[in-house]
Amino acid sequence: MQYTVTVLPGDGIGPDIIREAVQVVERVGRKFGHHFTFEERLIGGVAYDQTGEPLPQSTLNSALHSDAVLLGAVGGPKWDGLKGEERPEAALLGIRKALNLFANIRPAKIYRSLRDACPLRPDIIGEDGLDIVVIRELTGGIYFGPRKREIRDGVEMAYDTMLYNENEIRRIAHVAFQSARKRNHLVTNVDKANVLEVSRLWRKVVMEVAKEYPDVTLNHLYVDNAAMQLVRDPKQFDVIVTGNCFGDILSDEASQITGSIGMLPSASMGEGALGMFEPIHGSAPDIAGQDKANPIATILSAAMMFTYSFGKLEEAACIEKAVDEVLEAGYRTADIWSEGCTLVGTRQMGQLICERIEAI
Ligand code: NAD
Ligand code: IPM
Ligand code: MN
């Protein structure tokens, strides 16, 4: 097959990790007989520096005409003083919205060989490890509601509004229930329905959708309790469905249970096959350009691209197996390193995974 992929390295460690993911995609292409055209475009702080805007039209056009988008990360202290709409982060929200990528799928899985990197007691994780997925609504909620900053009666004030309509809730609920059908048939809805009106609507709609999935069990947790339960007993979860802001926070929390935020991939999907694939972590300015970043989250995001945008499950499985084997062989970047393991940098980790792909 022939695929066009828009590649958006972005800022900080973005270029470091994307370089490795692109090599992995190329290697998989060679193995399985696919040809990739990579269109590299600007996004985030680097785009602002070069063009005056964080999300140039040429980037959006390329994404809209591609089969998939692979993104590194955006943002950094250099751009923190910019106005809201000029910030690198605004570009990320903008591209998600423009491509209507309302469903952000964030799997959190503990690799057998990374048990030592998990900060929870071994008896909490148990023999079977951990395998949960956070289904985060991505184009609504407090990230996109009306906002304002103003001076009222001489006092500076600001607000953001958490806003959802029933259609936005319904479609993400369907994604969650369908995902649960392919997994352990359990959905935990996370909201703040004891306080927020928007959460009461959210919960009502999720319960309505649940009736179409009688084979799936639905539980509800308030977000504060959910954050606690994730470290108390993460094995109680299968699929977590939640809004944009709560999903952002809970998925970072879940990532650390797997050993590092450098391990967690994501897929952002809309109604069709076009998706954007990015690690859940940020641009990690503290380690940018030092060959220290863990590229696995981005490489696993590329695997999700094969599954979700291309429908190529064998290719995705090949990448996941290669990652697993390299970890089993004891290679670790600094974020997941423990005694007795071999410390490697970003490039070597990428290289090792490419070699395994060829050998599998
Ligand atoms: P971050 O995820 O960038 O970093 C948090 C911590 O995790 C840091 O110590 C970092 O070194 C570490 N880390 C992250 N990714 C890693 C990897 N692959 N390997 C090893 N260690 C890794 O979060 P932050 O520091 O809050 O944000 C930094 C910048 O990134 C901010 O400008 C923020 O807005 C932006 N950000 C962007 C995205 C994105 O582009 N999707 C996501 C989150 C944050
Ligand atoms: C993420 C990030 C983004 C988000 C920011 C950088 C806009 O934290 O992808 O998780 O909050 O969605
Ligand atoms: Mn985040």
ipTM of the shown complex: 0.99
Same structural domain, 145 and 208: yes
Eight-class DSSP state of 341 = S
What is the spatial distance between Cα 71 and Cα 96, in angstroms, rounded to a whole number?
11
Question: What would the two tokens of residue 231 be?
Answer: 């470290």
- 81 is annotated as contributing to ligand binding: yes
Domain boundary among 241, 257, 273: 257
Same structural domain, 60 and 165: no
Domain boundary among 257, 276, 307: 257
Same structural domain, 273 and 253: no
pLDDT at 99: 98
How many whole angstroms from 283 Cα to the centroid of ligand 1? Answer: 4
Closest to 257 (Cα-Cα) out of 328, 152, 336? 336
- 202 is annotated as contributing to ligand binding: no
- Tens-level pLDDT at each residue, the chain (360 residues): 999 999 999 999 999 999 999 999 999 999 999 999 999 999 999 999 999 999 999 999 999 999 999 999 999 999 999 999 999 999 999 999 999 999 999 999 999 999 989 999 999 998 888 999 999 999 999 999 999 999 999 999 999 999 999 999 999 999 999 999 999 999 999 999 999 999 999 999 999 999 999 999 999 999 999 999 999 999 999 999 999 999 999 999 999 999 999 999 999 999 999 999 999 999 999 999 999 999 999 999 999 999 999 999 999 999 999 999 999 999 999 999 999 999 999 999 999 999 999 999
Q: 240: domain range?
A: 119-257
Same structural domain, 182 and 301: no
Same structural domain, 71 and 196: no
Which ligand 1 atom minimizes the distance to the CA of 80?
A: 32
Same structural domain, 267 and 251: no
pTM of the prediction? 0.98
Same structural domain, 141 and 11: no
- 294 is annotated as contributing to ligand binding: yes
Domain boundary among 257, 281, 303: 257
Which ligand 2 atom minimizes the distance to the CA of 252?
A: 10
Give phi and psi for 221, each to the nearest 5.
Answer: -135, 145
pLDDT at 265: 98
Is the torsion defined by CA of 259, 87, 247, 40 positive or negative?
A: negative
Residue of minimum CA distance from atom 9 in ligand 2: 280
**Number of other CB atoms surrounding residue 148 within 10 Å:** 10
pLDDT at 316: 98
How many whole angstroms from 175 Cα to the centroid of ligand 3? Answer: 20
Q: 276: Cβ below 6 Å to ligand 1?
A: no
Residue of minimum CA distance from atom 6 in ligand 2: 89
Q: 248: Cβ below 6 Å to ligand 2?
A: yes
Q: 280: Cβ below 6 Å to ligand 2?
A: yes
CATH code of 200's domain: 3.40.718.10
pLDDT at 199: 99
Same structural domain, 125 and 28: no
pLDDT at 110: 95
Q: 254: Cβ below 6 Å to ligand 2?
A: no
Same structural domain, 207 and 241: yes
Q: 9: Cβ below 6 Å to ligand 1?
A: no
Same structural domain, 288 and 221: no
What is the spatial distance between Cα 11 and Cα 66, in angstroms, rounded to a whole number?
21
Number of independent structural domains in the chain:
2
pLDDT at 24: 98
Same structural domain, 88 and 128: no
Same structural domain, 288 and 335: yes
